[in-house]
Structure 1
Amino acid sequence: MTSPSLENVVTPPASVKNDRSRGGGPKRSRKVLFVGLGVLAVVLLLDFFLRDILPDSSIRQLLMLAACNVLVALSLNVINGMAGQFSIGHAGFVGIGGYTSAVMASHLHQSLGGGEPTFARSFVVVPVCLAASAGMAGLFGFFVGLPSLRLRGDYLAIVTLGFAEIFRLVIATAQAGDGTAKAGVFAKIGSALSSLGG
């Protein structure tokens, strides 16, 4: 009876050896850090010089809407592409984040002195609004995710679609006569978020 050689038992297979190199290690994390810092530097420069570079406010607004849609696409990539979950109700979470961001931006703009131009203080307002909207959407996502933890495929899609439809109906019925969402539940959420801002 022949016994396997010690070299074959101790040496990991080639696939295990290569897994370590796929993670990237310290070189990859440094590269990601430098790319992230570079993007942050470009964003900060754009924040200070965007009005000088693009005096047309409609183009600046178009760029901001494009940036918002890029964030939505990235989050969809995480859910559908990386996690492999089929979630149809993504628009509900985007709506919660957008509403939270709008309330916080309005309140912070007024507490910082208001006036025109609206986006002159975006260096302060945007990070706070992004954090608040991500936190609020994450909180709602946590509460929707708890009962649907074990669901996959079509069942998860139905639950998330139901949540998005509930959110749409709440927004539609909570609108005041002038079309702004100031009545009902969202007025209380908006005043609570405004009190958090200052």
Structure 2
Amino acid sequence: MMRWILAGVMMVLAAGTAEAADGKALFAAKGCTACHGAEGRKALAATPHLAGQNAVYLTRQMNEIAEGLRAAPALKPMKPFIDKTAAEERKAMADWLAAQPPADSGTGDAAKIARGEELFDEQGCIGCHGANGAKPLSDYPVLAGQRKDYLAAQIKAIRDEVRSTRRARLMVANVRTLKDAQVDDVAEFLSQSKRK
């Protein structure tokens, strides 16, 4: 009899682990699709596309929100959702999102794209985010193909030291001199770059 009870407990634990490993199901069940869209695409305005994003970066961002290290006003609606996830669930969602095809970025303004590309290179952004923002260091975000409005808001928040996590503070020197119009050019360029 004890063997059957133990076997039953093991089956329940195994089912819980399998469920936790299903990033797609967790992403939907935790309510993430409401803002970030199905499969992490078609996000609401000022909300990032997550499909095709770096999994290590996504996991770190969710953990920082859970720990209160990222606490900007725009993140307040997300905090209760993140608080209801375990660390292994966040990793499962991040792994699943990273494997999804990226969102279609549409078309952009050619002159702004050219100016933005030049600024991206001049400001040294390529060092951490890679060529065209598409091949970052291992735990940095992929910027290519991200929403223009989200990119512009984040660059300005870093420049103005509103977003001030340790990593964001490393970027301040690179973006401090950018005027709003230049930030918009960089955001235009990155939004039109292709996410691998």
In our comparison, the structure showing a higher alpha carbon Rg is 1
When normalised by structure 2's length, the TM-score is: 0.28
When normalised by structure 1's length, the TM-score is: 0.28
